[in-house]
Amino acid sequence: MRQKIAIDMDEVMADALGKLIRLYEKEFGKSVKQEVLQGHFLEEVIDPDHKHVIREYLFEKDFFQDLEVMPDSQAVIFELSQHYDVYIVTAAMEFPDSLSHKYQWLREHFSFLSWKNFVFCGDKSIIRADYLIDDHPKNLSVFSGEPIIFTSPHNVHETRFRRVNNWQEVAAMFL
């Protein structure tokens, strides 16, 4: 029986943060430097009067439609799918309008995965797999298998979990 790897979508496979930064910089004409993001979420480092716009961007109907693919994720996930049962697990219920766009995005960029391997949920504690690769400690801390944190600026100071910084490190770990 093959082991199961559950993989988060946003900030692991899809660059949601990059799009948020681009939208913010375009709307407000202010640059967001990577070094100020280290250890913080975007809404923690921008003008306090602008915090609400980050959630507004996320609730836009088409926000998740055209996210950039994280470097090397397609090739590594394809290779993982040859040796493991791979499931894409995304907490899409927080943004209900995202469901169809996330599904379409996955079909476009990860067409080698079956629709049966997509899990749209609210609470990831229900996920039963051998591994979970995710950028949010809150999801990893309730996971019953082996949690693996995927580096994103907001989690750089997190030390409770085994860490991967990019998809090449995922490949080295599993392949």
Just list the catalytic residues. Answer: 8, 10
Spatial strand order of the sheet with 85-90 comes to 118-120, 85-90, 4-7, 131-134, 146-150, 162-164
Are 45 and 169 in contact by the 8 Å Cβ rule? The answer is no
CA distance 13 to 21: 17
Q: What is the DSSP letter of 28?
A: H
What are the C-alpha distances in Å from 45 to residues 17, 26, 36, 48? 13, 16, 7, 8
Burial class (CB in 10 A: 0-12, 13-18, 19+), 102: buried
